[in-house]
A and B are shown apart, each in its own frame.
Chain A
Amino acid sequence: MDNPENVLIIGSGIAGMEASLMLSKAGKKVYLVENLPIIGGKIIKNEESFPIMDCSTCLVAPIQQEILQDANIEVLTLSAVEKVAGKPGDFKVTVRKKARYVSLEACLGCGMCYPVCPVVLKNEWEENLMDKKAVYVPCSGSLPNVPMIDASQCLHLNGKDKSCNKCMEACMFAAIDFSQKDEEFKLDVSGIIVATGFELFNVQELENLGYGKYPGVYTAFEFERLFASNGPTEGKLFLRDSEKTPDSVAIIHCVGRDEVGYCSNICCMSSSKHARFIKHNLHDAKIYNIYSDICLTDKSYQKFFDETKSHDSEFIFQFDRKKMNISKKDGKLEVSYFNGKETKESILVDMVVLANALRPSDTIEELSKALEIKRDSFGFIETEPSKLGSVETSRPGIFVAGCAEGPKDIQGSVIQSEAAVAGILSMLDQ
């Protein structure tokens, strides 16, 4: 074994972060590769996490800080794994790192560069609910708290106005560096954990739900960001492009479940959480949860669900998900569905939140090819069927954890991450 002490972790969500810290504690050198400019994954999009409703940032920020301060962990943001050669105990990994154009060492995160940048763009991390500049951090509270420059949009870098040096002039620390280049380098590692997480089902595939057509229809993540105190509305529940709050909200469960072919595990609970949030902020709002089944994966979830049902929201059973329709009526949104008696009913609301299904992340296909590991029929990473209860993939020495393996909650992701660490350490000590 050439480098028994090195481990590569791909993805810096809760699963990747937990594995990194554990392996560092065990004295291993960890390379934590993340394709975004920040670490933290999807959990940092949430204001609160069910069922304790503890503040997600308070839960995760100390973990992020610990990662950034850990001398055994090398965080490689804006990076992707291109190729993995070799065998367990001796993998040769090719990593491609995109230029940030801002020095991680020199930048303090003071934010003086954003206001002067003349380029205004939509902020995808904020679900396009707010703007960003060409030099930006995805959200306030980003860690590392160092912006990046979008090279395709920056006037200096894309050549539209080479003389634009506004951010550079505003920076007191000489942290802006237009000369940075994308790099490719090799890492020697003994084991790999894939923890690349998930994306949400594209609700525009379901035309009957009117997303994109009616501004009052939101995805689950859009709602999470409205809910977030560091988000576009600072946690105020305003309807899109207005300062009006909704009097009535319908939360639709299982959106895209039939299309993806599985239950996404977390949506019943996150929808209950959304109902609570609305009720706590808008006491008189009428809230409906339209569900077809209820998935509760932890011993403590039923109580949370029951409390939501009795205090915050009416729960309506929907017989056939495919027959739901959302349209405009009298300035409101009309949600029609088939009830338990298989007869058509409808409700009028100001806002609709679609609890969209979880699906494999966009990068997973390419990554699985680079890693030469198998995926299941849904596109998630498959655990080796001959190793029951293991989180090892089809390629020995490469493990999977969290939603890269299939939809699950934070608890389930952390359990798999800790199991992957056990797998790596067992392998290294042999």
Chain B
Amino acid sequence: MTTTTVLVVDDEKNIRLTLTQALETLGVRVETAVNGEEALQKLEHSPYALMLLDLKMPGMNGLEVLRRMRELRAGVRVIIITAYGTIESAVEAMKLGAVDFIQKPFTPKEIRELVQTVLQRGELSADATDYSTVIELCKRSINEGDFTAALLAAHRAVSLEPSSAEAFNLLGALLEIDGKMDEAIRFYRTAVSLDESYAPAMANLERATTIGRDGAISLDGI
């Protein structure tokens, strides 16, 4: 991973600093941007393996950066930074290929673990049969915008581990993206019944069953 470059996009100096410090020990090169505009400029001129992106920034918000980045350059993996207490009801972000979230405050260890998982996802063998690899393959397909493959992998994950709330929630979100809202809600419900403390499924169920059903990610703390 010696030549891997990571871009950290956050308006808060302390977050940029914490992430940079934590990631440098992994041996990756870290560059930073203080807002969406600067991030897009950097993305236009240099290749990055991964971007850590804050959703809530003054000016251009994280989702808009994600949207424009997809037009500019595919293949950059994204980890979304969310605020305290915000729940990753992130179907909108998922549509744009972002499926990994880290909630503030974060420990250096969890940042490093997540970054390594996301970076190593590219090297996974597609014929894996164990649950955790299948989940990672599903996320990789989402990163690459291949929702058909992601849906297949999510179905496989559910059959491999029928008690996993994460797998059911992921399947629900992919069905929602596919426009099958009623099926999606059923899977969100299953996820919640399997694990009532699994916040992403709770947030998805709440949003999906609320009038309006706009599927938009909540940018405010819940």
Are these two chains actual partners, yes or no? Answer: no
**A residues within 8 Å of B by Cβ?**
none
